[in-house]
Chain A
């Protein structure tokens, strides 16, 4: 029997506003505990929350990018639950009229398959605080700094079938929000995290199995492992004649398995009701139009344009557009040197190799587009050959403050195009190696590379390679 895994996601994304959603406290990450708090976010009775305009704007920008219908009239509700990281004992969220519904995301998986995920809804809400559990006693210490940090929660339909699809979708969200500038999308700081709803069913069935939920998993690697493990657990359970219980499970990435949280049956009664302190929100057609017009070109749009305009492969275009910093470097350099193909080749080859070797992220790249462009032109015009170019590129990669033209002159790296000089050196090499010449003559043409290599070496690797090739061929064919 074959099984099909069915996954739906709830993704929480922290919006990059300066102040919290309902008060003026700072949203900055990592302050000393309880120093970014005021009576509103610390849940003191009698306080009045006031919505941050920027939160609405960022949320709408996200809704538009995810192809949602925007609810022009939307409002906030209270989700009541008792937990010490939430001092008000309710979270202000949106249940009845969320700001966005019915979206659609087209993404590409790692293996290059195009997929679609439907978005059920997106709502605005406030984040909760953080509990630090005492390792010694039966107490916890709540830090309320994160209380009231603005979030959007993106609820997808159960449209994913495996971890590769889930990761493709999450990567799409991450790069889209990065391009839009509405979130830091740093999973390690919790500014993007996913809840995974997962069930399995016999292949070909159109009914859903009983699902479990794994909350707040905050790395791509952990998400992949959690999905694989939970699918396996459910399939094994069903094949052994058991049944899956609808429950919340905690993924322990260190142990590589999930655990039942055994919450009480009535723990999920949130008793939602309209938030009386925040008047409804009415969004004008004009605001929506302005935001839609202001939307920058997004990663997937750039990807398609790179394929169309520059003739890059889908895979290469994907690599160059996934991070905003890479796409910017590519476009600025290609613009200056008018050679997108060559620019892309150096970025995808040597640059990515060096980034990997030195563990440099796209955001940390320090390459000056003007120097990079001069470099591409120098390579294209044969001022330096490719062997020399590799070492020059390392210099560009290492320092923003680097002058390509000056470096080539000072280190005498110009390509040697002097045919007479190449011929003289090549003749020497041939004259000094009669045995190898004889081998060549007897049909062992593989030794040809030896002559090329020797000639190149004596010219410090700087000779024009096609000229060397031509001259060595000619000399060998005329040698006695």
Chain B
């Protein structure tokens, strides 16, 4: 079993979020509350209950295969902190 601190650090790393000491403490508390609540739910008898896949009882919301105009590239890129005329600029990532 991982400690609450380890879980917070792990999730932060997966999300590429940097947390300082205070933020980590705050997260441990908040995430802890969520997990505690989950524990209450875990105690329920769900024998024979299908997992819910969607909150509304609707299915098959689809569209026809039709091309609609894309956005101007400028609008796609304008909010980026760093960019060229054609693309965003991101730290070099080679998997």
A residues neighboring B (CB under 8 Å): 17-19, 23-26, 32-39, 42, 50-56, 75, 80, 82-84, 89, 96-97, 131-134, 137-144, 261, 263, 266, 269, 271, 274, 276, 278-282
Contact = CB atoms under 8 A, between A and B. Distances in A.
**Chain B interface category by residue count:** 35 or more
Contacts of A17: 65
B63 A263 contact: no
A18 B67 contact: yes
B89 A26 contact: no
Contacts of A131: 90, 93
A82 B16 contact: yes
B88 A142 contact: yes
Given A42-B76, A75-B53, 7 more contacts: A25-B70, A38-B70, A97-B53, A131-B90, A139-B90, A276-B54, A281-B59
B66 to A, nearest CB: 6
Nearest to A84: B90
Interface in B66-95: 66-71, 73, 76-77, 84, 86-95
A316 B27 CA distance: 68
Contact of B92 (A32, A51, A140, A274): A140
Contacts of A19: 65-68
Closest 7 CB pairs of A and B: A24-B68, A54-B65, A141-B87, A84-B90, A282-B59, A53-B62, A33-B86
A56 B62 contact: yes
B87 A263 contact: no
A166 B90 CA distance: 37
Contacts of A276: 54-55
Interface of B: 10, 13-16, 51, 53-56, 58-71, 73, 76-77, 84, 86-95
A24 B66 CA distance: 6
A82 B90 CA distance: 12
A83 B15 CA distance: 10
Contact of A52 (B56, B58, B65): B65
B73 A35 contact: yes
Nearest to A19: B67
A191 B60 CA distance: 27
A83 B65 contact: no
A279 B56 contact: yes
A139 B93 CA distance: 8
Contacts of B10: 266
Nearest to B94: A133
A26 B67 CA distance: 6
A38 B73 CA distance: 9
Contacts of A51: 61-63
A248 to B, nearest CB: 8
Nearest to B68: A24
Contacts of A271: 14
Given A39-B71, A83-B95, A142 B90 contact: yes
A282 to B, nearest CB: 4
A56 B61 CA distance: 12
Contact of A35 (B55, B70, B94): B70
Contacts of B73: 32-35, 37
Nearest to A269: B14
Nearest to A129: B87
A56 B65 CA distance: 11
A286 to B, nearest CB: 13
Contact of A279 (B54, B69, B92): B54
Contacts of A144: 76
Nearest to A132: B87
A34 B70 CA distance: 9
Nearest to A17: B65
Contacts of B53: 75, 96-97, 274, 280
A54 B68 CA distance: 15
Most chain A CB atoms below 10 A, which of B15, B58, B71, B89: B71
A24 B67 contact: yes
Contact of A139 (B13, B71, B77, B89): B89
A140 B91 contact: yes
